[in-house]
Amino acid sequence: MRLKMKEENKRCSNCIYFSAFYTKKFQSFQKENYGLCNGKKVKERHEVCDMWGRNNALNRKSRKEYCFSASLNTIDGMSKNLAEISQILREEYERENSGSDEK
């Protein structure tokens, strides 16, 4: 009984190396029953393997902080790219309109 309990606690869904897949729904995301193990192998959430690593609150917190920071960096980069595209389009629009006024 105790061995079964320990094995059940070492499911992939409780592992630090497991990243679940999500399916996009109309207004939300649905967590699937499978994901990536260590970023390489597709596994079901309820499987058990030798590479299991504890996914405690501290690891989840640091991973959440990392994801938040990465998201902010990505959004910041996208914002800069959009500003550059906007500037290019604005200059192109001004160039086209100033050329049609002279003719």
pLDDT, one tens digit per residue, over 25-83 is: 888 888 888 888 876 777 777 777 777 776 665 566 677 787 888 888 899 999 999 99
Asked if the structure places residue 23 within a domain, the reply is: yes
Asked if the structure places residue 84 within a domain, the reply is: no
Asked if the structure places residue 37 within a domain, the reply is: yes
Parent domain of 47: 2-55
- The two three-digit tokens of residue 46, written as one number: 């309820």
Q: What is the pTM of this model?
A: 0.40
Asked if the structure places residue 85 within a domain, the reply is: no
DSSP 55: -
Q: What mean pLDDT is predicted for residues 76-97?
A: 94
- The two three-digit tokens of residue 12, written as one number: 């992939």
Asked if the structure places residue 80 within a domain, the reply is: no
How far is residue 15's CA from residue 82's CA, in Å, rounded to a whole number? 38
Count of the separate structural domains present in the chain: 1
Does 17 score more than 80 pLDDT? no
Q: What is the pLDDT of residue 90?
A: 95
Asked if the structure places residue 47 within a domain, the reply is: yes
